[in-house]
Amino acid sequence: MSTVKKGFPEGFLWGGATAANQLEGAYNEDGKGLSSADMVVYVPKEKRTGGHAIEITSEQIEKILSGELQDARFPKRYGIDFYHHYKEDIALFAEMGFKVFRLSINWARIFPNGDDAEPNEAGLQFYDNVFDELHKYGIEPLVTLAHYETPLGLTMKYNGWASREVIGCFTKYAETVFRRYKDKVKYWLTFNEINMMTISPFTGGGVVIDRVDNKLQTIYQALHHQFVASSLATKLCHEIIPDAKIGCMLARMESYAHTCNPEDVLKNQQENQRNLFFTDVHARGEYPTYMNRYFEENNIVIQKEAGDDEILKKYTVDYISFSYYMTLTISAEPGGDRAEGNLFGGVKNPYLKASDWGWQIDPTGLRITLNTMYDRYKKPLFIVENGLGAYDKVEDDGSIHDTYRIDYLRQHIAQMKEAIADGVDLIGYTSWGPIDLISMSTSEMSKRYGFIYVDQDDEGNGTLERSRKDSFFWYKNVIAANGEEL
Ligand code: BG6
């Protein structure tokens, strides 16, 4: 009898993934404080440098807070107004048959300044309402504690995660929500794409990098604080909700050597190690030795306190989650024809097509990465983001024929099935942005991932009316057939 697994396991967690700052809106309602995402100004494509505009300087923060930027728009403050539409949106997720819905709690809704003595009851109540609504339809919430929403108060007071003080603020917040939602939430994640800190410290950790002299030192020190905080949150979660599972989250950048030239292969191996560093710490419970040389050559000295290494070792994650949109191709030669990506670099891969935003589409790469990660960690894997950001066209009759999105998802899900047959323990899949929302990297609305269309444009105009795209009906069927019909 064959021991090869055929198809998705029973109880596989199909659903969609979002983040509070791209979804909720209501940025100043019911006692919410400002968060890092609320400071991000929309910059139209033609004025952007490097394809995105998410890092912020001290000067910009001052100007925003003093009201000097009169004409600036902040789309992440308004999202798609899930705050007032959550019942309608969750009903649509239920209609698709979602088993799980990934969302983040906006930390500044619970602790408006990040270090308040008491939590904000209205903020806590909002998530109670959302979780109750999900459970009404049998949908499990999967909650990210930190998805680029560091309270601005922590940036102003401590320069965000650059300071060790923030560990205590975070664990207090984590403990508060674990206690409050212990009967409602059984799947948790600590930091979304924890490796974001190396690309955009403000996005990843509320760190304003022009305030410090040694940028790399600050980035890796802030990451150390997040690693310790993540382990402490894991400890608390297990103590408070013994039947919960808590994981880490990585922007996985599977990469290929550009050629079989050993120099390319070596460079690629180093890039790959620096990407897996984050999951290595979370899953293996220690800093990998390959980072020692990188730290030394870049004058990085991590300040650890007594007991930090034991904490990392003792409280490792239950499962590993990651986002997967594309792969990278690494060349040892500088320059070359560069590919676009979600903030990560690389040269163009001639075998791959790219999205409208230049992200290189690679379904087979998903099978490769699932195998890589399972081989390495032997822990359950959860794909918590994947999808195609694309322009959609609304036809005269209101329909939206997003065959490109269906094709993308179909091919990726087919490769997940292959990986399961390869022996990978994959427990769930939440595609990114099941309902159109604000883009993280560009703050655009026109970069759409959803099965559900939202009537709003890049300038914030529109009725916010929701409608079903063709992919809505397709995904509904995929879930009903547990992935057997793509
Ligand atoms: C991931 C983030 O990097 O990619 C999400 O966790 C983000 O917040 C997603 O939205 C897609 O990126 P973008 O820039 O197309 O919104």
List the beta bridge partners of residue 432.
17
pLDDT over 90 for what percent of the chain? 92
Distances (CA, A) of 379 to 143, 324, 366, 372: 19, 18, 17, 12
> For residues 143 and 188, is the Cβ–Cβ distance under 8 A?
yes
Provide the pLDDT for residue 476.
Answer: 98
pLDDT at residue number 51 = 60
Q: Which residues pair with 322 in a beta bridge?
A: 250, 383
Active-site residue flag, 55: no
d(CA 196, CA 192): 8
Residue in this structure with the two tokens 């968060």, named with its chain if needed? 35
| CA-based nearest residue to 56, from 42, 69, 72, 39 | 39
**Catalytic member of 297, 385, 459, 484:** 385
- Across residues 449-457, what is the average pLDDT? 98
* Residue 158, H or E segment: helix 152-158
Which three-class secondary structure state does DSSP give residue 486?
coil
Report, as an integer, the average pLDDT of 192-199: 96
Give the bridge partners for 248, in sequence order.
320
Closest CA to 238 of 249, 228, 230, 227: 230
For residue 440, the CA-to-ligand 1 centroid distance in Å is 5
In ligand 1, which atom is closest to the CA atom of 359? 15
282-305 residue pLDDT tens? 999 999 999 999 999 999 999 999
Q: Name the residue type at position 24.
A: E
> Of 117-126, 139-148, 204-213, 333-342, which range is least confident?
333-342
**CA trace torsion 153, 155, 161, 166 (10° rounding):** -20
- pLDDT value, residue 50: 63
Give the closest residue to 319 by CA, choosing from 373, 371, 256, 258: 373
Return contacts of 455-463, CB within 8 angstroms, 24+ apart.
456/80, 458/42, 458/44, 458/75, 459/73, 460/73, 460/75, 460/78
Has residue 252 got a pLDDT over 60? yes
| Residue-level pLDDT at 340 | 64
Q: Which two tokens stand for residue 83?
A: 């705050």
Question: Which domains are present in the chain?
Answer: 13-480 (3.20.20.80)
Which ligand 1 atom sits nearest the alpha carbon of residue 192? 6
Q: Which DSSP state fits 390?
A: B
Average pLDDT, the chain: 96
- How does DSSP classify residue 340? P
Give CA–CA dist 21/77, Å, rounded: 7
Q: Which residues line ligand 1 (CB under 6 A)?
A: 19, 22, 192-193, 251, 323, 342, 385, 389, 432, 439-442, 447
pLDDT value of residue 344: 63
Q: Ligand 1 pocket test: which of 42, 190, 385, 437 has the largest number of ligand atoms within 8 Å of its C-beta?
A: 385
Query: In the structure, what pLDDT confidence band is assigned to residue 337 with cuts at 50, 70 and 90?
Result: confident
Tokens at 362, concatenated: 């690679």
Q: Would you place residue 52 in the very low, low, confident or very high pLDDT band (cuts 50, 70, 90)? A: low
Q: Tell me the average pLDDT across 57-82.
A: 93
Pairing state between β 187-191 and 140-146: parallel
Least confident of 166-170, 330-334, 442-446: 330-334
What spatial distance separates the first Cα and last Cα of the chain, rounded to whole Å?
A: 27
Whole-number Å distance, alpha carbon 341 to ligand 1 midpoint, is: 11
Nearest-CA residue for ligand 1 atom 16 is 439
Q: Using pLDDT thresholds of 50, 70 and 90, give the confidence band for residue 45.
A: confident
Say if CB 262 and CB 240 are below 8 A apart: no
Question: How high is the pLDDT of residue 280?
Answer: 98
CA distance 289 to 469: 48
Cα–Cα distance measured from residue 238 to residue 229, given in angstroms and rounded to the nearest whole number: 14
Nearest-angstrom CA–CA distance, 449 and 389: 5
pLDDT for res 294: 96
The helix, strand and coil proportions of the chain, stated in percent and rounded to the nearest 5, come to 40, 15, 45
Ligand 1: centre distance to CA 313 (Å): 30
Rounded to whole angstroms, how far apart are CA atoms 216 and 455?
Answer: 41
Q: How many CA atoms lie within 13 A of 127 on its CB side?
A: 30
Query: Is-contact 381 374, C-beta < 8 A?
Result: yes
Nearest residue (by CA) to ligand 1, atom 12, is 440
Give Cα separations from 252 to 1, 71, 102, 200 (angstroms): 35, 36, 18, 16
Asked if residue 342 has pLDDT above 80, the reply is no
8 A C-beta contact, residue 407 and residue 18 = no
Decide if pLDDT at 143 tops 80. Answer: yes
- What percentage of the chain carries pLDDT values higher than 70? 98
Q: How far is it, in rounded angstroms, from Cα 8 to Cα 429?
A: 11
Q: What is the torsion angle, in degrees rounded to the nearest 10, for the CA atoms of residue 172, residue 178, residue 180 and residue 181?
A: 150
**pLDDT at res. 482:** 98
pLDDT for residue 338 is more than 80? no
